[in-house]
Structure 1
Amino acid sequence: MGIEIEMDRIDSQGNLSQEPYPASIGDEKTKPWMTNDFLEVMSETVTPAADYALEAMHYLYALNTTLRNALAPGELLWPLSMPPRLPKDKSKLVLAKMGPKKEAYLHEWAKRHGYSQGTPCGVHINLSIKPHIVDLVRKQLPDRFPDERSAMNYLYTVVAQGFVRYRWLLTYLFGASPVAEANYLEPNQKLAHPMRSMRQSSYGFGTKFRGDFTNLDRYVARIEEGVKEGILTSDYEFHGPVRFKGNAELKRLHKEGIKYVELRMLDLDPTTAVGVKTVTLRFIRLLASYLIMHPAMPENEVDDVLKQADERNRVVAEEDPRKKTKYQATALAMIKRLAQYANQIQLGPEYTEILDELEDRILNSLMTPSGQLMNYVQDGSLEAYALQRAKRYQEAALESLHPFHGFEDGKIYTTKELKAALDAL
């Protein structure tokens, strides 16, 4: 498991920061662990891969503290997925300075989709399957999987299908973006009520382009078709809820196989400084484990099932977070199924506690993240709440006894080197 967290740099008044990229964490174009995304002020923190949720959180807290200590005086990190108030003239927003090729892509993207839709931030979780699991599958089914690549492609496809199919449940349980701040929406866009997850809604991030998760061949073909038709500016623009990863070049991914999947459907959790909680990561791992133990859907059914799942996710995302979801009964049944599975594989009591808490969220929508955030909405805004949280988290980071300063010497760490340096803290 590896984690990527996007957060906007802001000033103490809640405006997007005018400060340059923090020099003490190195060159944003070359550092793999601290970089930028759509905007120059949208910082992205990337952890090394970890075997356990607690280990991943250790790396995330260390890197988040590093970033906060590198900010200019008065700078903060906005803790919400939906951006702080934007300028009325969004063309004034500075896109990430990531080199000519990436900058040209970002400008073309903004031209096509508008600046607003590139500004929501989120949590991306990268999941890989340990080699001994792949070996076990091959030993059991040698005729079906003649080599490691075919087994891995199958297993990752099963996981991807499952996460797309049940994305709506994650949106319900962890959605945390009920409102948008000033100037995000166009003047003619009026919303009837707050949402469970505006970032995951039709008003949220990105390109509304459906991927094909039937198998790796069709995944690649669908993206290439989107580029050929001009729907996508490049294969990089595919921002589905799940992405197959392994090589940055789509054709090489096709040849070399899937190495991990990237889950892109989680909002930032503003109740923690790092944007995601250990319980959420553990639930993701449990769900991934459950999914991998079930066969893939028949190939002729995948596209229709996942198309319906996308629509269900839109419905859940756009529900009023103070009201029960239309799919409450299905959500409860899924949680009970996961509880049975956790008992079967003899997981510890911490998983029972997690599932009990999530069942409570399903029974009472006011206990969901978006439901709780509604307590802090003032005049349609969460700015006061977000600033209060941002200042608290920044003060705590600046008081850290042993912040990591290893990026200041310009060193580009390998995964092994960074893990060793962070483990030594």
Structure 2
Amino acid sequence: MQHYLQALAAPDTRQLLRQIHRGIEKESLRITPEGRLAQTPHPRALGSALTHPSITTDYSEALLEFITPVDTSVEHTLQTLEDVHRYVYSQLGDELLWSASMPCVVAGDNSIPVARYGSSNVARMKTIYRYGLGHRYGRAMQAIAGIHYNFSMPQAYWEQDWRAAGQPGALKDWITERYLGLIRNFHRYSWLLIYLYGASPAVCSSFLRDRDSHGLEAFDPEGRTLYQPYGTALRMGDLGYNSSAQRGLRVCYNSLDNYVDTLRSAIMQPHADYGRIPTGLNGDYQQLNDSLLQIENEFYSTIRPKRVAYSGETPLHALRRGGIEYIEVRCIDVSPFTPVGIDAAQVRFLDAFLLYCLLGDSPPCDDDEQSRLQANLTAVVNRGREPGLCLRTAQGERPLKELARELLAGIDQVAALLDTAHEPGEHRETVAAQRRKIDDPDLTPSARLLREMRERDLPYFRLALDYSQQWARHFRAEPLPATTAARFARETEESLAAQRDIEASDTISFEQYLEQFYAQYQAV
């Protein structure tokens, strides 16, 4: 890592650190004033969920997703996210945005409406895919919200790095290999992010109605809240984006070919467990196909290699065509303690963490290491703050605190380098704040959530609703500038027009559309 740090520290290359590209995708449930999941359709005043550039929906019609454009400024990215929230609140009437990752009160699968995107072929495909997720994993899991953080280095950095390495092979292949190294290291160290920022140690008991094997404890005598006493991010464990069917899917990040081929096979080969779900017979589409994965996005992972795809192009085809363009971090909880669920200090730490993963040595990963890494992630999800908790390494078990301090020492070197290109001290300050969380687990968001529930004698649902109401007042108290509000209104109308154009342009049947879409996997 040191030679990379030295190269970036040179005066003529240091400015490249100011050009790191980032973007945020933040999910929030729409809820009623009483804290129940909204049953209303996606508000027309928010535009088309199919085509709007910054406001869409994920699994449920009530699960909003806010998207910021690619930007090099932390402050501007967060201000953009704040503006989206303010605009949405100006159009929500008395509804609120849920301020946490684990859901509000839900009344079973039928209370979670599946997202709709219109009558076009692409819209129908998106909705059917979500029906398939509901049949395969239950709709409740799809009501969980999270934050996705997109990260990439500037092209000028890659060109310089490639030249310094002697221009081995094609530039796009060099970039891909370096990003794969980042991903492997991310899997090695992501437990640290879960410990430091996990904010979902508890869940409303309505989420687990009719499920007895969850392994959680009752937080209160009435059983309104279930929790793990030392848990950090239940969203990332068996309650959340996890799938027993996918556990046998060994996805390798040692090469792009292996990654693409493994997911392609999972999309193309029928899976016996899903054969009973209707897949188009007599027009009854309850899933897109009966394979282990309907499409790539169904593979649940804490990080994904990404490339912007052409219209109608599959993500795997885009990766094969152009290599990895950026990575998407998917294990970040929505923090109820900040207005938009994430703040500048956390973004700066993520940048330092991801740059550390990129610059550090990253040997290939084998099955034994993958098993250790999964065991470590599970342990931190469920018991991260447990005194004396040890994690697995190739040399045997070691205390989490020791491993965390070693990791933070390396990340601090990267933070010091970032501070030379930005405001002095900001990156190292956030690393120091994370070090204090290692020394005192009570400073973690997961501990704070449980502590406030106890001190205020509130169940999880009630505390999260209080924070939701607090941030609703925050956003509604200060209207958007007129020019910003006008821009959102214009984007709303343009997105609705774009949806109409897509619907009018369909010239083939849905069956033909699906056939052409899946034919791409044959050629990948």
**TM, length-normalised to structure 1:** 0.90
User: Does residue 330 of structure 1 match 2:349?
Assistant: no
What is aligned with 2:494? 411
Q: Match for residue 237 of structure 2?
A: 201
Q: What is the Cα deviation at residue 239 of structure 1?
A: 2.5
**Alignment CA distance shift 1:238-1:187 (3 Å):** closer
Distance 1:372 1:66 in 2: 30
Report the Cα distance in structure 1 between the residues aligned to 2:333 and 2:142, rounded to whole angstroms.
Answer: 14
- Report the alpha carbon displacement of residue 252 of structure 1 after superposing the two structures with TM: 3.0
Cα distance in 1, alignment partners of residues 111 and 84 from structure 2 = 30
Kindly name which structure, 1 or 2, has the bigger radius of gyration based on alpha carbons.
2
Going by fraction, where is helix more abundant, 1 or 2?
2
- Residue in structure 1 matched with residue 425 of structure 2 by the alignment: 349
Q: Which residue of 402, 407, 421 maps to 2:480? A: 402
Alignment of 1:138-153 (within 5 A): 138-144=162-168, 146-153=169-176
Partner amino acid, structure 2, of 1:205 = Y
Specify which of 348, 368, 373 is matched with residue 444 of structure 2. Answer: 368
* Count of equivalent residues: 408
Alignment of 1:63-102 (within 5 A): 63-72=84-93, 74-87=94-107, 89-98=108-117, 99-102=123-126
Q: 2:412 corresponds to which residue?
A: 339
- Residue equivalent to 2:82: 61
TM-score normalized by the length of structure 2: 0.74
Partner of 2:47: 26
Which range moved further: 181-190 or 198-207?
181-190
Following the alignment from structure 1 to structure 2, what is the Cα–Cα distance between the partners of residues 61 and 345? 25
Letter in 2 for 1:293: L
Report if aligned partners of 1:137, 1:151 keep a CA contact under 8 Å in 2. Answer: no
- Structure 1's 320 and 251: CA in aligned 2 closer, same or farther, altered over 3 A? closer
Once the two structures are TM-superposed, the CA of residue 225 in structure 1 deviates from its matched residue by 2.2
- Match of 2:494, as an amino acid? K
Q: What does 1:16-415 correspond to in 2, within 5 Å?
A: 16-72=37-93, 74-87=94-107, 89-98=108-117, 99-144=123-168, 146-185=169-208, 186-189=210-213, 190-192=215-217, 193-194=228-229, 195-207=231-243, 209=246, 210-229=250-269, 230-246=291-307, 247=309, 249=314, 250-297=316-363, 299=364, 301-319=365-383, 321=385, 323=387, 325-326=389-390, 327-343=400-416, 347=420, 348-377=424-453, 381-403=459-481, 404-405=484-485, 406-409=487-490, 410-412=493-495
Report the 3-state secondary structure (helix = DSSP H, G, I; strand = E; otherwise coil) of the residue aligned with 1:45: strand
CA drift at 1:202:
1.7
Cα distance change, pair 243–399 in 1 and its aligned pair in 2 (3 A): same
Amino acid at match of 2:66: T
Q: Using the TM superposition, name which of 235-244 and 354-363 deviates more.
A: 235-244
Structure 1: distance between partners of 2:387 and 2:241: 24
Instruction: Provide the secondary structure at the position in 2 that maps to 1:317.
Output: helix
Aligned-partner Cα distance in 2 for 1:214–1:14: 45
Residues 146 and 334 of structure 2 are in contact (CA less than 8 Å); yes or no, is this contact kept in structure 1? yes
Offset, 1:291: 2.0
Give the letter for the 1:335 counterpart: L
Change (3 A) 1:324 1:373: farther
How has the CA–CA distance of structure 1 residues 400 and 322 changed in structure 2, closer, same or farther, with 3 Å as cutoff? farther
- State the alpha-carbon separation in 2 of the partners of residues 131 and 108 from structure 1: 38
Q: 1:307 to 1:53 in 2, by over 3 A?
A: farther
Shift of 1:344: 5.4
Distance in 1 between residues matched to 2:355 and 2:183, nearest whole Å: 12
Q: Does structure 2 retain, via aligned residues, the 8 Å contact 1:361–1:367?
A: yes
CA-CA distance at 1:284 after TM superposition: 0.8
- Distance in 2 (alpha carbons) for counterparts of 1:392 and 1:183: 23
Instruction: Verify the 8 A CA contact 1:178 1:321 in the aligned structure 2.
Output: no
Q: Judging changes above 3 Å, is the alpha-carbon distance between structure 1 residues 344 and 285 closer, same or farther for their aligned structure 2 residues? A: closer
Does the 8 Å contact 1:82/1:177 carry over to 2? Answer: yes
Q: Is the 8 A contact 1:196 1:318 kept in 2?
A: yes
Q: For the residues of structure 1 that align with 2:378 and 2:449, how far apart are their CA atoms?
A: 20
Residue identity matched to 1:90: D
SS at match of 1:166: helix
**CA separation of 1:60/1:345 partners in 2, compared to 1, >3 Å: closer, same or farther?**
closer
Q: Give, in angstroms, the shift of residue 161 of structure 1.
A: 1.5
Amino acid at match of 1:331: A
- For residues 147 and 336 of structure 1, what CA distance do their matches in structure 2 show? 34
Take 2:193 and 2:384, find their aligned partners in 1: how far apart are those partners? 16
Secondary structure of 2:370 counterpart: helix
What SS class does the counterpart of residue 91 from structure 1 fall into? helix
Deviation per CA, 1:341-384, whole angstroms, max 9, x where unpaired? 43356543112211111011111111100000002336883122
- The 2-side partners of 1:335 and 1:65 are apart by 36
Kept in 2: contact 1:213–1:302 (CA 8 A) = no
> What amino acid is the match of 2:104?
P
**Contact kept? 2:39, 2:111, Cα under 8 Å:** no
Aligned to 1:423: none
Contact 1:84 1:182 in 2 (8 A): no
Provide the secondary structure at the position in 2 that maps to 1:183: helix
* Matched AA of 1:377: M
Q: Name the amino acid aligned to 2:171.
A: E
Give me the identity figure in percent. Answer: 24
On the 8 A contact 2:195/2:232 being kept in 1, the answer is yes
**Structure 2 gap segments, 5+ residues each:** 1-21, 118-122, 218-227, 270-290, 391-399, 497-524
1:42 to 1:69, Cα distance in 2 relative to 1, 3 A = same
Structure 1 residues 82 and 324: alpha-carbon distance in aligned structure 2, compared to 1, 3 A threshold? farther
**Conserved 8 A contact 1:176-1:268:** yes
Change (3 A) 1:19 1:412: closer
Q: Which amino acid aligns with 1:63?
A: V
